[in-house]
Structure 1
Amino acid sequence: MCLVFVCDEDERVLSRQVAPGACPYCGGMIQAMDVESQWRFCFLPLYWKTKRKFYCSVCARRLVLQY
């Protein structure tokens, strides 16, 4: 008996906007991207979530907000 688990995560960019502020590392502009991630098991969607991620447009670092 052989069990094969086929799991996949797919990320898709929905939109991009310019965010206020500057990158603390290089001083470049910050982009806010809305990303939809979707987990699939055997090609059936199980879970999807929309997140907002922040990236620097010059040095391409992912920035994390500190509250």
Structure 2
Amino acid sequence: MCLVFIVDEDEKVIGRYAAGGACPYCGGQVQALDVEKAWRLWYVPLYTRTKRKFLCSFCNRPLIIQYP
């Protein structure tokens, strides 16, 4: 017997905003992205999560914000 699960993960950008600060690598402008992730099993949504990511608009490096 063999079980096959078709699981898909979609990422969709909901919004893109200018964030304060500069990239520590190249000095470019930082952008904040609102990203919605959805896990699906045969096109049926199982789990949805909205997350904010930061990246540089010039070099496209993902930036990690550290809170004190």
TM over 0.5: yes
How many residues are matched? 67
Cα RMSD (Å): 0.7
1:50 aligns with 2:50: yes
User: What whole-Å deviation, never above 9, does each CA across 1:34-65 have from its counterpart, x for those lacking one?
Assistant: 00000011211000000000010111100011
- TM-score, normalization by structure 1: 0.95
**5+ residue gaps, structure 1:** none
How do residues 1-67 of structure 1 correspond to structure 2 at under 5 angstroms?
A: 1-67=1-67
TM-score, normalised via structure 2 length: 0.94
For 2:26 and 2:42, locate their aligned partners in 1 and report how far apart those are by CA, in whole Å: 43
Q: Structure 1: which 4+ aligned runs deviate by more than 3 Å?
A: none
Quick one: distance in 2 between partners of 1:42 and 1:17? 33
Structure 2 spans left out of the alignment, 5+ residues: none
